[in-house]
Each structure stands twice: as structure tokens, then as C-alpha cells.
């Protein structure tokens, strides 16, 4: 799976996921030059403003290919609250 390198957010709240920062990024708002792909505010060639952020865990989680065994995000909170699973826990799936 390609990893998300950058998240661009439009003024309307649309999230765009950049996987390759070594090339210009083409989207419905225009083209963002590769030199401008960094955290902060970026402008497209058509004058649109996009806000650039480093991807969070949730951004990456939402882009995971869905298969039957994946746990939906609405259920994860309940599982963590009920079991007390944390970063030092060992979990066995059978």
C-alpha cells in the first residue's frame, strides 16, 4: 500500500491525499508544484488555496483497503474502552 505523504485540504473541507511529493500534484483545484508541497498553505496554478498537513493516523486508517476482517472506526473506541488495550498490550487474533 502506498503511504500518504501529505494531506491537502480545500476551503470547502475536501481532503486530498498526496502519495508522491517528488512530482507535481494534479487535482480538481489545479496543479501544485512539487517545490510547494510542504506543510503550510499552498497555491495551485489556478489560484486556489489549499492547506497542507502531515497525515494523521486517522487519515492513514481511512485509506486502508477494506477487507472483511477490518474493524470499523466506530467500533474501535468501544473495544479499547472495554478491554483497556494500549500501546504496550500484546493482542492475539485467532
Under 8 Å between Cβ of 9 and 51? yes
Q: Which residues, at least 6 apart from 20, have a Cβ–Cβ distance to it below 8 Å?
A: 5
**pLDDT, position 2:** 57
Q: Which three cell numbers stand for residue 73?
A: 472506526
Q: What are phi and psi of 7, to 5 degrees?
A: -115, 125
Under 8 Å between Cβ of 4 and 15? no
Cα–Cα distance measured from residue 54 to residue 74, given in angstroms and rounded to the nearest whole number: 23
For each of the domains in the chain, give its residue range(s) and CATH number, in order of start: 6-83 (3.10.330.20)
Average pLDDT score, the chain: 85
pLDDT in tens, 16-54: 889 888 999 999 999 999 888 876 899 999 989 999 998
Amino acid at each position: 500500500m502506498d503511504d500518504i505523504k501529505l494531506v491537502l485540504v480545500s476551503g470547502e473541507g475536501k481532503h486530498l491525499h498526496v502519495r508522491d511529493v517528488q512530482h507535481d500534484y494534479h487535482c480538481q483545484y489545479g496543479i501544485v508544484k512539487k517545490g510547494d508541497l510542504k506543510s503550510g498553505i499552498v497555491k495551485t496554478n489556478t489560484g486556489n488555496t489549499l492547506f497542507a498537513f502531515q497525515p494523521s493516523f486517522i487519515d492513514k486508517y481511512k485509506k486502508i483497503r477494506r477487507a472483511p476482517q477490518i474493524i470499523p472506526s466506530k467500533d474501535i473506541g468501544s473495544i479499547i474502552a472495554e478491554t483497556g488495550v494500549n500501546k504496550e498490550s500484546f493482542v492475539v487474533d485467532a
